[in-house]
Structure 1
Amino acid sequence: MDWRAPVMDYCERQSSAFWAEPANALTNFAFVIAAAAAFVLWRRRGGADYPALALIIVTASVGVGSFIFHTIATRGAMLLDVIPIAIFIYGYFLLALRRYFRLPMAPAAALTLAFAAISFFATTIEALNGSVGYLPALAALAIFAALLWPRGERRATAQALAAAALIFAISLAFRTIDRAICPAFPLGAHVLWHMLNACVLWLLLRAAILADRDQASPIQNAKEPTAA
């Protein structure tokens, strides 16, 4: 495979020039903003939740990697776009199983590997403008929200995951129609994919950070001193 081959997959890009996708490139800073906002919340919550911090760093790298891809636009640069996204998806899936459902590491890791295998198979299906590969992640969000909803102490997390799933579904729709609307709207819809996904990642990070203390076990809560 020629890693230097140009990628011309988006309406906005009409040449292989570095700045041929200014809107697609600049909207990636929404991910950096989402990461910065999550970092502020992380610090306010004590700054000791290192799994969440790792996902915050990955979120920032999603923005940086996608910016590089939408400027250099080669097959090699595409790796800087897709790898951080994959790390976030699988990392958050594992964190959700551990933090929201209290699964031990072994079964949580096994389920994450199975989820990764399903997601990889989905990427081989050529349909929906390449959006099929993200459908397992959307399904996981919806299923997690549904499973957590009946649990009173998990209701806030369930609501956050449900909202993230709804926004993600909308962003997937815009990603899917990007090529189809090129003749009528040359800028395309990929910019909305970036901005809406930044909102999705912010909601997921916020849910994880807040759940780290708010959803502690009764034993842990009993050990914490109460206000006078």
Structure 2
Amino acid sequence: MTDYVDGYCERVAPGLWGEPLNDLSNLAFLFAAVLVWRLAKGERTGRLLAVLIGLVFVASSVFHLIATRWAGAADSGAILAFVLVYAVVFVRTYWSRRWAWVAAPAFLALTVVTALLGGGLYLSALIGLGAFAVVLAFQRDSAWTHFAVAGAVFALSLSLRMLDRDVCAYVPVGTHFLWHLLNGVVLYLVSRTVIRPQWT
């Protein structure tokens, strides 16, 4: 678990601060966490989401700072924790409190399926955002547009994440830092819609 991970264009050797842009761009998650915390105004669900976004900031920062397998696992774990909690919160907010508990295992099952197909956590998250938008559009809830926008931004960020290794020869710093910046926007957008659904 302490093995060195060289997975991004920007990193060319082991050691601390080998990915300055990837690390600094994690500040987008911290900024999103602060905004969500302030938006929550003491409401527990909002503050929980803010804390989880803060954990994504910490885990991703550590991973890109030290580049080890355990840090990478912690990074993925922090993201998964946010997504599972959010799935429950979404169902409770827009559909049914009675069935909210089903959301986490259902999303986990979807993630296992997409992982077997090579898509992993991120493809299932993109599918989830699309499903949320469709469900709300079918219910004629105006919030569907917010999830559609979040899904579009996430699709762009996922594309940039996948392009990182392919553009190394042309863009030495890669595109992974843009994944961080755009995902900070996505996490804020989706959190906002469940903290203050009447604003949508």
Q: TM-score range by the shorter chain?
A: over 0.9
Structure 2 spans left out of the alignment, 5+ residues: none
TM-score normalized by the length of structure 1: 0.82
From 36, 61, 72, the equivalent of 2:66 is 72
Alpha-carbon shift at residue 132 of structure 1 (Å): 4.3
Q: Measured at CA, do residues 5 and 124 of structure 1 come closer, stay the same or move farther in structure 2, by a change above 3 Å?
A: farther
Superposed CA offset, 1:107-165 (max 9, x none): 33234202202203323444xxxx5431111111111111112434x31x212111100
Q: Secondary structure at the match of 1:179?
A: helix
Q: 1:113 aligns with which of 105, 108, 121?
A: 105
Q: Find the residue that maps to 2:183 and give its secondary structure.
A: helix
Q: Which consecutive residues of structure 1, in runs of 5 or more, have no partner in the other structure?
A: 216-228
Q: Kindly report which structure 2 residues correspond to 1:58-69, keeping only aligned pairs within 5 A, or say none.
A: 58-69=52-63
Q: For residue 59 of structure 2, what is the amino acid of its counterpart?
A: G
Structure 2: how far apart are the matches of 1:29 and 1:162? 24
Equivalent in the alignment of 1:149: 137
Distance in 1 of aligned mates of 2:3 and 2:120: 24
Across the aligned residues of Structure 1 and Structure 2, the Cα RMSD in angstroms comes to 1.6
Determine the C-alpha separation between the residues in 1 that align with 2:147 and 2:106: 21
In the TM superposition, what whole-angstrom CA distance separates every residue of 1:16-40 from its partner, at most 9, and x where no partner exists? 1111100001100110001111111
Q: Deviations over 1:162-207 (max 9, x none)?
A: 1100100000100111111111111111001000000000001111
Give distance in 1, aligned partners of 2:40 and 2:13: 41
Aligned mates of 2:121, 2:37 — CA distance in 1 = 29
Quote the offset at 1:103 in angstroms: 4.2
The structure whose Rg is larger is: 1
Q: For the structure 1 residues 125 and 146, does the alpha-carbon distance in structure 2 shift closer, same or farther, using more than 3 Å as the test?
A: closer
Matched, 1:202 2:194: no
Who is 1:6 aligned against? 4
Distance in 1 (CA, whole Å) between partners of 2:63 and 2:74 is 7
1:165 matched residue in structure 2: 151
In the alignment, which residue of structure 1 is the partner of 2:86?
92
Q: After the TM superposition, which segments of 4 or more aligned residues of structure 1 sit over 4 Å from their partners?
A: none
Match for residue 173 of structure 2 among 184, 187, 191: 187
Percentage of identical aligned residues: 35
Which of 111, 128, 134 is residue 122 of structure 2 equivalent to? 134
Deviations along 1:39-98, whole A, 9 cap, x unmatched?
11111xxx2x21221111000110111000001110011122111100111111111111
Q: Normalization by structure 2: what TM-score?
A: 0.93
Contact persistence 2:157–2:178 (CA under 8 A): yes
